[in-house]
Chains A and B, each alone.
Chain A
């Protein structure tokens, strides 16, 4: 009998703590003005290992995942709020595009309120790139690597990858021309004998022997260095610290290289720049119901590796293993979807996190 009392007490305690959490979360939602956008599945990334965050796994009990979200909010409220608002802005614009499908909803009306809903940025985008190279000897990272890397980024972000023609028919109609062009602005080289740079952003800090970022509001910074730890490259989502904004690529995986083997065709950068433009991994970094926040990509519960044969089925649908945001070999990834394109392009629209690149 006592046991039942204890269980009952425990149950009540859990229910009460859940309610508290929900109250706190709804307070955050009130920070913003838009009500009709569903943000219940949103979760936040961390920037340093000291932070806490939730994977937002929808199979996890909601109370649990919300409580971690709440902890994240307390530990790093400014990052949480920034990323929350970027996601809200993105969803608002994508919802607006769906609503105004007729193609623009009548002329200008830019100044006045109450006109058409805002939509993702549609014009061509040019992104100047700062390449920050940390190498043992001057020229270890060759000009040919730089040239081929920029060429591959331009191929992939302008739907010119020759492999795309092999897309299975169920995915062929989703292939997007992202219409983003990359140009080399500046190449910074620094000699360093440091064997590996790790993933703690030391390469982005001159105080630690690295190279400081150049104006991340108007340039994409790419650091090229030996990362180590089995990591080919890594990125930072929009909303993180400006001083570390950009992508890092291991020397052997930058541009076309023989040392990179099946990862020697420059697509590590394509994948990392996808993250820099707020794309998630195509499997959503969780189980079937954890989404990548893109409607036209199939649900999956895992990364795919090597060069998968089609069809590869997870979560009862065929995985889009050939998407740049999966983990396959360079030669086996060859598409972004229309939904991913929209998601990236919301960043360049008015109020978007990377609006400063187009204004």
Chain B
């Protein structure tokens, strides 16, 4: 009986590992309002950040990319489109309109919109990590 559990567990680990190796992931964060926009693109190669006052391209290490991928895997991608934002300042132009797109193996998942600077908790850690790298 125990051996079955061990077998199942190791099988799960293997499947999990191979999924991580095989998965092709790219991420796009956008924030836009009347008159300005910010975009951040991330993939295994690096990050391209463009905004109304700054443009930069940078390489990221394998460890950094793995950290980002782990954060992506921790998100329920199908639920992203229904995330409820913690604030709605953009409704009176007080914040830019943010959104997150994740391309996983060719399938694109897009979040609901939220205030730039105050994303829903479910995707906050990923967005914060990306912006820390681009800062």
Contact = CB atoms under 8 A, between A and B. Distances in A.
Instruction: Output the residue of A43, A51, A229, A236 with the most chain B CB within 10 A.
Output: A229
A271 interface: yes
A305 B92 contact: no
- Most-contacted residue by chain A among B32, B33, B52, B95 (CB, 10 A): B33
Interface stretch (A3-11, A61-69, A103-111, A214-222): A61-69
A45 B92 contact: yes
B51 interface: yes
Interface string B70-86: 00000000000010111
A323 interface: no
Interface residues of B, number: 30
Given A52-B86, A263-B34, A327-B34, A234 B93 contact: yes
Contacts of A230: 33, 35-38, 51-53, 96
Given A57-B112, A64-B84, A230-B33, A285 B90 contact: yes
B100 to A, nearest CB: 16
A305 B34 contact: yes
Given A55-B112, A64-B84, A230-B35, 14 more contacts: A43-B88, A46-B88, A60-B84, A61-B82, A64-B82, A65-B84, A68-B84, A230-B37, A230-B52, A230-B96, A231-B93, A285-B90, A285-B91, A327-B34
A52 B120 CA distance: 11
A286 interface: yes
A53 interface: yes
A199 interface: yes
A310 B84 CA distance: 32
A347 interface: no
Interface string B40-54: 000000000001110
Interface of B: 32-38, 51-53, 82, 84-97, 112-113, 115, 117-118
A104 to B, nearest CB: 34
Nearest to B31: A230
A194 to B, nearest CB: 17
B87 A53 contact: yes
B34 to A, nearest CB: 4
Given A230-B36, A263-B35, A305-B34, A54 B84 contact: yes
Nearest to B86: A52
A235 B92 contact: yes
A49 B90 CA distance: 11
A232 B34 contact: yes
A237 B92 contact: yes
B35 A232 contact: yes
- Most A C-beta atoms less than 10 A away, residue of B52, B85, B94: B94
Contacts of A229: 96
Given A57-B112, A64-B82, A303-B97, A271 B34 contact: yes
